[in-house]
Chains A and B, each alone.
Chain A
Amino acid sequence: MRRLTPLPPQRAADLVGRYAAERAVARRRMLASLAVLAVLLVLASYAAEVRPLVLAGNIGKFTAYLGQIMPVLRPDHLGTDLAEWYWGLPKWLSLLGETLLMAYLGTLLGAVGGFVLCFVAAGNLVKSPAIRFAAKRYLEICRTVPEIVFALIFVIAFGLGPMVGVLALAIHTTGALGKLFSEVVENIDMKPVEGLTGTGASWVEIVRFAVLPQVLSNFASYALLRFEINVRGAGVMGFVGAGGIGQELLVAIRNFYYSDVSAILLMIVLTVFAIDLGTEKLRHRLIDGEGER
C-alpha cells in the first residue's frame, strides 16, 4: 500500500489560511443576517405590541381553556355524555353540509371563471399585450383581496346568507386558479397548436382540440386542491355573516359555551381531514391516469 505523502508545509499552511478566510467570510455573512433579523424582530415586536409577561402570566389560561372546552365523558354514562356534548348535532350537521356546499359552489364557479380567463392571460395563446395585461391584473386583484373582505362588502350589498359566502369564495378562487391555470397553459407542448393553426382552425377550436386535452387533468387537480382550501375558508365565512358553520362557532367561543366549542371544532377538523384524504386520492388517480396515456 502506498503511503499518503503529506503536503509541503508551505502549501498546507497556505490552504489552511485560505480555508480559514473562507470560513470567516461565511461566518461574517451569517452574523450580519442574524443582526438584520434581530433588528427586524425588535421592530416587529414593537409594532405588534408583544407582551411576553402577559403571555407568561396568562399561558396557564390557554391550557385551562383547552381543559375547559374538553367535554365531560364518563365511561359508565358514555352514551348520555356524548348525547349531551353533541346536543346540537342535527343543526350542526346541516350547517356543516351548508359549509361544504358553499366550498363546492365557490370552487366550481371560481374554476369556471379562472378557466375562461386563463386562456386570455396565457402568453402563448394571446398575442395582444393589452388584453393579457388586463386579464392578469384582474386575476391579481381577485387573488390579493382576501375572500373574507369580499364577504364583508357583499354582505352589505346582497344581505346576510350563504350566497354571499359562495360569491366571495368564487371571486377569490377565480384569481387563484386563473393564475395557476394560465401557468399550466403557458407550459404546454405547442406542436398541436401549430398543427391546428396550420389547418386554419379558429382560436376557440385551437383551445378546444389542441390545448384542452393537454391541460384538463392538471386543471382538475388544482381545482381539487383549491376545494380543500375553500372548505377551510367556508368554515369561517360565518364570522361575518356569510353562512356556514362559522357563525355557530363564533357564538360558542364568544359566549363561552365551552363544550360546544370543542364539539364544533372537532367536527370541522374531522371534515377537513376527510376532505384532504379524499381529494389526495382523487388527485393521485388523475395524475396517474395521465401518466398511463
Chain B
Amino acid sequence: MTERPAASLREAALADLDALRARHPDQFRTDWSERLRGAAVLAGIAGLTAYGLWTLDFSLARIFHGLGRLGGFALEMFPPSAAGRFGVFLHALAETLGIAFLGTLTAALFAFPVAFLAARNVVPNPFARFAVRRGLDVMRSVDVLIWALIWINVVGLGPFAGALAIACSDFGAFGKLFSEAIETCDRRPAEGVLASGGSSLHRIRFGLIPGVLPVLASQVLYFFESNTRSATIIGIVGAGGIGQYLTELIRVLELQQVAFLVLMILVTVAAIDWISGRLRRAIIGGSR
C-alpha cells in the first residue's frame, strides 16, 4: 500500500525535474567554495595517509602473508583449553582484579583532596590552580605501562607495582574529573552554609561534598571497569596479573590456552561492567 504513492511521487518529481530546477534554483546550486574546502581536507587526509603507509613499511605482500598466518592461529585457538592450569589462571585473574581495585581506590582517595585544590569555586587563586592542574596532567599523560616500569624499580616485580602504576596514572585522571565535577556542582547549598555562618571548611563539608559524592562514586566505578582492562595488560612488563601468562603463552604459541585466557578476560570484564553499571545506576538514582 505504502509503496505506490512513494514510487509515484518519485516518478512525478523525476518527470518534472527541469521545472523543479527552474522554480528552486537555490536548492540545486552547487556551493563550489564549500566543495573545494571539503576536497582539500580530504586530499590532505589522503596525502598524509599515503605518506604514513609509505614510511611505516606497509606492504600488501606482508599483510597477506601475515593474514594467512593469523588464519592459522585462529584455527589453532580451537578448542580453547586451560591445559590443566585453570587454578593458576584463576589466581592470576584474582590478582588482576586486586590490582584494578586497589589502584582505583588508592587513586580516588588521594585525588579527592587534591581535586578541591584544582577547583575554581574552592581555590580562587589561578596560579595555584594552574600548578595543581598541570601536575595532574603530567601524571595523566604518562601511560600505565611506563608507570609500571618505574614502580618495578622501586618495589620489585609483581602485582604491587601494577597497583601503584594504576594508582599513579588514575590519580591524574581523577583529579581532573573530580575538580570538574566540583566546579559544576550546585552553588546554592554552599552559599546557604556560608550565609548561616559556616566556615569555608564547613562549606566544603556540608555544601559541596554531599552534592558531588554520588557523581564521584559513579566515576570511580566507571574507572574500575576500564582499569580491569588495563590490569590485564600490565603483566606484559612484569607487573603481575593475568597479562604475564598471556604474554608468555602468546610468545610460545600455546594458542588454545591464549584463547582460554582471552575468554576468561572477556567474561570477567563483562561481569564487572554489569555489576558496576547496576551500582552506578543505583548511586545516581539514589541521589535524586
Query: Which residues of A pack against B, CB within 8 Å?
Result: 37, 40-41, 43-51, 54-55, 58-59, 61-62, 65, 98, 101-102, 104-105, 108, 141, 144-146, 148-149, 152-154, 156-159, 161-163, 166, 197-200, 232-233, 235-236, 239-240, 243, 249-250, 253-254, 265, 268-269, 272-273, 276
Contact = CB atoms under 8 A, between A and B. Distances in A.
A250 B266 CA distance: 28
B138 A249 contact: no
B21 interface: no
Interface stretch (B121-129, B154-162, B183-191, B194-202): B154-162
B117 interface: no
Interface stretch (B24-32, B79-87, B230-238): B230-238
Contacts of B6: 197-200
Tell me the dominant secondary structure on chain A's binding face.
helix
Given A44-B99, A51-B155, A144-B229, 5 more contacts: A55-B155, A105-B52, A145-B262, A145-B265, A148-B145
Interface residues of B, number: 69
A50 B57 CA distance: 44
Interface in B1-38: 6-7, 9-10, 13
B141 to A, nearest CB: 4
Nearest to B232: A146
A159 B145 contact: no
A68 to B, nearest CB: 10
A134 B162 CA distance: 35
A293 B144 CA distance: 41
B247 interface: yes
B102 A45 contact: yes
A104 B48 contact: yes
Contacts of B9: 198-200
Tell me the dominant secondary structure on chain B's binding face.
helix
A61 B155 CA distance: 9
B102 to A, nearest CB: 5
Given A44-B97, A49-B159, A162-B56, A65 B102 contact: no
B262 A58 contact: no
A236 B146 contact: yes
Contacts of A236: 143, 145-146
16 contacts: A45-B98, A45-B102, A48-B159, A48-B240, A51-B155, A54-B155, A144-B229, A144-B266, A146-B230, A146-B233, A157-B73, A162-B56, A166-B52, A166-B58, A236-B145, A268-B142
